[in-house]
Structure 1
């Protein structure tokens, strides 16, 4: 699989961290723990756009697309359908999974509140966002438990502790 991470980082995000590498590692781990691990063997390139921005921009996107006029930690905008995940085994044009947008102030505040390194919390949110791009959600207890289990396994692949145990 060729995973292209298109990264647009706001100046608030520490430039000493390789956010593109973290995004790629998080996306690969999420894909491996999804129902679509074959994406890792895709014959065509797979792309995820990751935007590291601020609360103001995320608040505007959240208001426009979700009707919630407040910032949030991560937003995901899927652009592919599950049937396209299977067809990725065949050569063809790039498969755009979608966009993940993270808000610096909210991510940093949450990391501090949870006593987590910003890098680890951001990796969790990138895994979470990637799973949303792959069709996962947490609208009810059953889907939330499934998504959290996949996140936990993906983060373990990255050497990051279960964030749900840390939070408890």
Structure 2
């Protein structure tokens, strides 16, 4: 499986230095864990509070910025065989919210960012924690397993 990553970094933070190779590794680990074998492509935008707030309001009717928004690809299934790589969709990660949450939860910023990458990627693949307790447990279990493969602790232990 090969991953084509489009990365847009509108917001930079000295406490969160993001390397393209690391982001690819996190997403590839997530995809392999759930059994994805075909080539994929994903877009990631790292944004500020204002952009996250506007998108969250427009698409989720929530009047605040949020840590990660997931926009799964809506390419018709009959078109997929014509593509070189499966389009997963786009993630919009709000760097100020991720940093604030990391501070509040006493986590390293990169660890929390990694969790948001895994969480958002699972959303792109159809996993949803808001549709019921069983779905939430399934998604959290996957996140913990994937983060463990990346040598990160269970992010839900201290919450």
User: How high is the TM-score relative to the length of structure 1?
Assistant: 0.84
Query: What is the aligned counterpart of 1:124 among 100, 115, 126?
Result: 115
Gaps of 5+ in 2: none
Residues 16 and 110 in structure 2, CA contact (< 8 A), matched pair in contact too: no
Measured in 2, the distance between the counterparts of 1:130 and 1:78 equals: 9
Q: What residue number does 1:17 align with?
A: 17
Are 1:54 and 2:54 an aligned pair? no
What CA RMSD, in Å, does the superposition of the two structures yield over aligned residues?
2.3
Measured in 1, the distance between the counterparts of 2:44 and 2:12 equals: 15
1:70-109: per-residue Cα shift (whole Å, max 9, x none)? 100000000058x79xxx8x78422210001111111001
Q: What residue number does 2:33 align with?
A: 33
Residues 11 and 95 in structure 2, CA contact (< 8 A), matched pair in contact too: no
Are 1:149 and 2:141 an aligned pair? yes
Residues 12 and 54 in structure 1, CA contact (< 8 A), matched pair in contact too: no
Residues 155 and 162 in structure 1, CA contact (< 8 A), matched pair in contact too: yes
User: How high is the TM-score relative to the length of structure 2?
Assistant: 0.88
| Counterparts of residues 1-168 of structure 1 (less than 5 Å) | 1-14=1-14, 17-34=17-34, 37=35, 39=36, 41-42=37-38, 45-79=39-73, 92-139=83-130, 140-165=132-157, 167-168=158-159
Query: Would you say how many aligned residue pairs link Structure 1 and Structure 2?
Result: 157
Residues 16 and 109 in structure 2, CA contact (< 8 A), matched pair in contact too: no
Residues 26 and 124 in structure 1, CA contact (< 8 A), matched pair in contact too: no
Residues 128 and 135 in structure 2, CA contact (< 8 A), matched pair in contact too: yes
